[in-house]
Amino acid sequence: MTEPSRPEFEILDNRGKEYHRWVSDVMNMFIGKRLTTTIFTPPNGPQASDEAKTQALMFLRRHIHPTLKKQYLKREDPKDLWDVLKQRFNNVHDVLIPELTTRWESIRLMDFAKVEDYNQAMLDLKAELSFCGVNKTDKEMIEKTLYTFSHR
């Protein structure tokens, strides 16, 4: 059975904004396909076969932005490609925190036509902040919502 030519999940964009989600998706897929040894070499463990490495490399390339493919075309080992992407994007949350904090400070219920839309935006923002290591409690979300009523 051959691999499908289209991605199984969203590709990693060239800014790496969703890098951590992408890593999770790749890891789950590699566990299912038994390809983890192609990007993590276990000490004194079995080495990945050339066939597994080729399959992993093709999979990684299929799930990254075309610009990244061009930039890392010379990377012919999946572990090498994995490591260079990690080095480049693993700290993306440090870049996102100021943007997310600004969004948190400026989000207002009054800017939404429906309470449901505001609630969804708040939950999405909470999830993004949590992903970056900034946890917002339900109490903080309620306080934020109430605060927007008194400060137009």
If one counts the domains in the chain, the total is 2
Q: Which pLDDT value is given to residue 80?
A: 95
The length of the chain in residues reads: 152
The answer to whether residue 3 is domain-embedded is no
The answer to whether residue 80 is domain-embedded is yes
pTM score of the predicted model? 0.67
Which amino acid, residue 113? A
Measured between alpha carbons, how far is 10 from 18 in angstroms, rounded to an integer?
A: 9
Measured between alpha carbons, how far is 98 from 102 in angstroms, rounded to an integer?
A: 6
Q: Which domain holds residue 82?
A: 19-89
Which of 72, 89, 106 corresponds to the end of one domain?
89
- pLDDT (tens digit, 0 to 9) for every residue of the chain, 152 residues total? 455 567 788 899 988 878 888 998 999 999 999 999 999 877 787 888 999 999 999 999 999 999 999 999 999 999 999 999 999 988 877 878 899 999 999 999 889 999 999 999 999 999 888 878 889 999 999 898 888 776 55
Please tell me whether residues 65 and 103 are part of one structural domain. Answer: no
Please tell me whether residues 69 and 117 are part of one structural domain. Answer: no
Which of 89, 107, 131 corresponds to the end of one domain?
89
